[in-house]
Amino acid sequence: GAAAPAPAGLGLRLCLGGWGSLVNPTGVAACPGSGLLAVAHDGKKRIHVFGPSGFCLRRFGERGDAGNDIKYPLDVTVTSDGHVVVTDGGDCSVKAFDFEGRGVLAVREGFCLPWGLDATPKSEVILTDSEAGMLYRLTADFQRGELKKCQVIRSRLVSPRAVAVCQTSGAVVVIEHLKARGPSKGSTRVKIFSAEMDLIGQMDSFGLNLIFPSRIYATAVAFDKEGRVIVTDVCSQAVICLGKPEEFPIFNPLISHGLSYPVGLTYMANDSLVVLDSGDHSIKVYSS
């Protein structure tokens, strides 16, 4: 069949947060059905939930040492059954909350440094462990607060951080952070796996450099509803579409101005693209 046309450039529709309310934000996720957005950051209450109009509805996840407190949130996702799941780098755990902010589950399955996570349509959570170089699938009954299974689905990755699951095909994309050779900052590599966890495509900063005009350092990743891989690039302060796994990589900048340090990315049910910008501590919502 003919290739679907690449998405056109996007326009800014809404800007939330700003300097006062979000402190060093690290992750953003959209609730599949409701249009709510959950944001993880380093403030007094670590999780903020925003409504579709941009109003902050609630804040929870106190900074502290109690079981349901959050020491240092690295990423957040929202399951289709309405639970907010957070990776806590402070005590190397994964914590789940309902939308009222009540803690329902904390998982400490011998993680070294749980980092990125994304939810599947079945409310399973795909999770990276940056220090162990692992990718996990976590299955739980969040309503009852029961962990069912936490299995390694891929190992021997290099500092995997951001991860995204394609809601239609089940493909998984991971961003690895490679060590620097010499004085440079290091580089990143984008790896795509099929639903069965076979490697179907990869491209590092060097390879992307051969095709694209500038060096790419990818910090966040998402799939759009057509199954294309979208990344944030902090070098060019841009959001770039790399295409579908089978055509990977193409180069199509979706947002090329107005961002300062994009670190999070998610799509809402209405196909708006949400970018978390830690440069000015804001959430920017774009639509085509």
Domains of the chain by start residue, with CATH: 14-287 (2.120.10.30)
Please count the other Cβ atoms lying within 10 Å of the Cβ belonging to residue 271.
Answer: 12
Asked if the model's pLDDT at residue 109 lies above 90, the reply is: no
Mention every residue, 6+ apart, whose C-beta is less than 8 A from residue 106.
67, 68, 93, 94, 95, 96
pLDDT band at 75 (very low <50, low <70, confident <90, very high): very high
Q: How far is CA 190 from CA 29, 147, 157, 207, 242, in A?
A: 20, 30, 11, 10, 10
β-partners of residue 128 are 135
Distance CA 227, CA 248 (A): 11
Q: How far is CA 135 from CA 13, 122, 232, in A?
A: 34, 18, 21
Average pLDDT score over residue span 44-53: 89
Distance CA 219, CA 237 (A): 11
Strand, helix or coil for residue 207 = helix
Cis? peptide before 114, omega within 30° of 0: no
User: To the nearest whole number, what is the mean pLDDT of the chain?
Assistant: 89
Whether the Cβ atoms of residue 79 and residue 142 lie closer than 8 Å to each other:
yes
β-partners of residue 180 are none
- 80-94, 177-191, 252-266: which has the minimum mean pLDDT? 177-191
pLDDT, greater one: 266 or 16: 266
Cα 213 from chain centre: 25
Across the beta sheet with 262-267, the strand order is 11-17, 282-287, 273-277, 262-267
The winner for highest mean pLDDT among 48-57, 131-140, 181-190, 241-250 is 131-140
Q: What is the pLDDT of residue 2?
A: 44
Distance CA 83, CA 96 (A): 6
Asked if the model's pLDDT at residue 27 lies above 60, the reply is: yes
> For residue 229, which of 258, 272, 193, 262 has the smallest C-alpha distance?
193
The winner for highest mean pLDDT among 54-68, 136-150, 181-195 is 136-150
